[in-house]
Amino acid sequence: MAGGLGAGPDAIFAARRLASSGQHDGAIACCSAQLDCGPSVDIGERMVLLELRARARSRVALGQLAQAMRDADALQGLAHRRGCAPTLRVLANICAATVQMRLGRNKLALETARHAMGVARKSRDARLIASA
C-alpha cells in the first residue's frame, strides 16, 4: 500500500490518527488508497473507511460536503445489504445524518438519525443505543 500503510485495521488506525491530528488530506488519502483495493477490502472495513473519509473530521472538516455526501450514500448502500450488522447500519445512518445536517438538510438529517436510533433500539445493545 502507498506510503507504507498496512491493509485493513492498520489503515483504519492510521486514518484515525491522521484525522484526529488535523491531517485531513492525509486521512482522506489513506482511506481512499485502501478503498481502491476493491473487493479485497472486507465490507465492515470498507464501511469504516467510508465513514472516516466522509464524516470523521476529514471531508466535512475540509468543507468537501458534496464528496462527503457521496461517501455517506455509498456507506448507506452497503448498510442496506442483507445481513449487515446493526452496528454498521447505525454507523451509516449517523454518518449520513451528520453530512445532511452540514448541508442544511435538517429535516432529512433528523429522519435519518431517528432511523439510526430505531435500528439501535431494535438491537437492544446499550452501547449502540448510546452511540446513535
We find that the CATH architecture of domain 2-131 is Alpha Horseshoe (1.25)
pLDDT tens digits, one per residue of 117-131: 999 999 999 999 998
pLDDT tens-digit series, residues 95-119: 999 999 999 999 999 999 999 999 9
Nearest to 48 by CA among 19, 25, 22, 23: 19
Closest CA to 24 of 64, 51, 61, 49: 61
Q: In the 8-state DSSP scheme, what is residue 84?
A: -
E strands, 5-132, are: none
The pLDDT of residue 7 is: 58
For the chain, what are the domain ranges? 2-131
pLDDT at 14: 92
Provide mean pLDDT across the span 57-83. 89
